[in-house]
Amino acid sequence: MAFIIKYKVKKEDEKIRLDKYISEKNEDLSRAMIQKLIKENKVLVNGNISKESYKVAENDDISLEIEPPKETKIIAENIPLEIIYEDNDILIVNKPKGMVVHPGAGNHEGTLVNAILAHCKDSLSGIGGIIRPGIVHRIDKDTTGLVVIAKCEYIQESLIKQMNDDSFIKEYIAIARGMVDSSGVIDFPIARKDGSIIERCVDLVHGENAITNYVRLNYNPELDISLVKCRLLTGRTHQIRVHFAYIGHPLLGDSLYGLDCGSSCNALCGRFGDNGLCGGACDSDDGITGVESVGFSDSDDISNLHDGIRGEVSAGVDLNGAAFGALSVGVNKCDVEKSRADLINHQALQSNRVCFIHPISKKVVDIGLDIDGIYKELFE
């Protein structure tokens, strides 16, 4: 059943537009929702239908007819969440790797939204007329870290507005291949790649504006990887992943935008994903010892090469007909480093900090995470 909200206009509120007047009196209603109600003739002034541009007058009787939000069809699931911050209006969680944010094709259960519905229960109000959490910014399935959730439409729209005017700060920690410049700005437009639903690319003609600021925090010369802090000035899909791949420094573990290892072979042997760092054959210098790589294929059992990962060194290993009496200290060190890096079995990208003005309290909310401990290990 619909419910009615009524207002009596006071003298100090005269000559304010109808939609603005209602917005100021009811912060739970977004401007878009108010305009929708007016267009649907659900807002009456002195019992008459009115336009959003109407200037209210003293003693005007204004009434709003609002339908209660519908129950969502998404199932609430009792999935553990790491809550970083929560109040009556906002929830901030630390999303683990492998968790999809929104339900969709092939992912109807086990998503962040399923978990939030169970956690928040009756504290959610309507987003677009449906009881559901308002995800303020999405992160990819295999990106870890902070996600901000609004509990009502007004909060969601207010925070999105802050993102649009660059007052909402989003910072990420990433591990990129190669030695990234000490700092810089990546300013290349991004568009959906032709023929792909998921993949994006830099498109100088048809792309949307995309800007990523970054600073290099550390560099590991043995693994030839950089620890980077990024600040997004825009929020394009896969923005950091696309930008760093475009400048020749794809993120570790990024199976979609990672480059072939032939162009920048190093101790990681190219790709950083699945269960290891070595994604294919490398016929050039290994980047650490000056020794030519042996050229094993994807199907070779790398563990047979260097038992040094488990504290042993094999002798006389035959690879493609080449016998080695012993493994050099440098190669064994590479293997030990690789075993540490194997701990990160997803793209190395963490949503690390968010900072914004709370729409209700008007106070600064500044939430940050420690850099992932596994990331730190690679730069000790």
At 255 the pLDDT is: 86
Calculate the average pLDDT of the chain: 77
Domain housing 148:
69-165
For residue 282, pLDDT beyond 60:
no
Beta strands in 20-82 (DSSP E): 43-45, 48-49, 61-66
Based on the fold, state whether residues 149 and 193 are members of the same structural domain: no
Residue 355 resides in a domain: no
For residue 372, pLDDT beyond 70:
yes
Based on the fold, state whether residues 184 and 249 are members of the same structural domain: yes
How many other CB atoms sit within 10 Å of the CB of residue 378?
21
Q: Which of 207, 229, 259 is the last residue of a domain?
A: 259
Q: Which of 57-61, 134-138, 237-241, 329-333 has the lowest mean pLDDT?
A: 329-333
153-210: per-residue pLDDT in tens? Answer: 788 888 988 988 889 999 999 999 999 999 999 999 999 999 898 899 999 999 999 9
Angle at 154 between CA 70 and CA 210, to 5 degrees: 110
Based on the fold, state whether residues 142 and 178 are members of the same structural domain: no
Residue type, 365: V
CATH code of the domain covering residue 189: 3.30.2350.10
Residue 16 resides in a domain: yes
> If pLDDT is split at 50, 70 and 90, which confidence band does 336 have?
very low
Based on the fold, state whether residues 157 and 181 are members of the same structural domain: no
Residue 367 resides in a domain: no
Cα dihedral 94, 96, 102, 103 in deg (nearest 10): -140
Based on the fold, state whether residues 215 and 298 are members of the same structural domain: no
73-85: per-residue pLDDT in tens? Answer: 778 899 999 999 9
Q: Which of 14, 46, 66 is the last residue of a domain?
A: 66
345-354 average pLDDT score: 90
Based on the fold, state whether residues 195 and 148 are members of the same structural domain: no
C-alpha–C-alpha distance, residues 318 and 304, integer Å: 10
At 200 the pLDDT is: 95
Residue found under tokens 């399935």: 141
Based on the fold, state whether residues 77 and 157 are members of the same structural domain: yes
Angle at 56 between CA 50 and CA 58, to 5 degrees: 130
Number of structural domains found in the chain? 4
Based on the fold, state whether residues 247 and 317 are members of the same structural domain: no
For residue 98, pLDDT beyond 50:
yes
The residues that are catalytic are 140
Based on the fold, state whether residues 49 and 25 are members of the same structural domain: yes
Based on the fold, state whether residues 74 and 159 are members of the same structural domain: yes
Q: Is 121 helix (H, G, I), strand (E, B) or coil?
A: helix
Residue 148 resides in a domain: yes
CATH code of the domain covering residue 49: 3.10.290.10
Residue found under tokens 């929104």: 102
Based on the fold, state whether residues 83 and 147 are members of the same structural domain: yes
Q: What's the pTM?
A: 0.67
Residue 28 resides in a domain: yes
Alpha helices in the chain (DSSP H): 18-25, 31-39, 112-120, 153-164, 239-246, 329-341, 373-377
Residue 27 resides in a domain: yes
254-263: per-residue pLDDT in tens? Answer: 989 986 433 3
Selection from 182, 159, 72, 163 nearest residue 120 by Cα: 72
Based on the fold, state whether residues 15 and 26 are members of the same structural domain: yes
Q: Is 380:223 a contact under the CB 8 Å cutoff?
A: no
Residue 99 resides in a domain: yes
C-alpha–C-alpha distance, residues 238 and 257, integer Å: 10
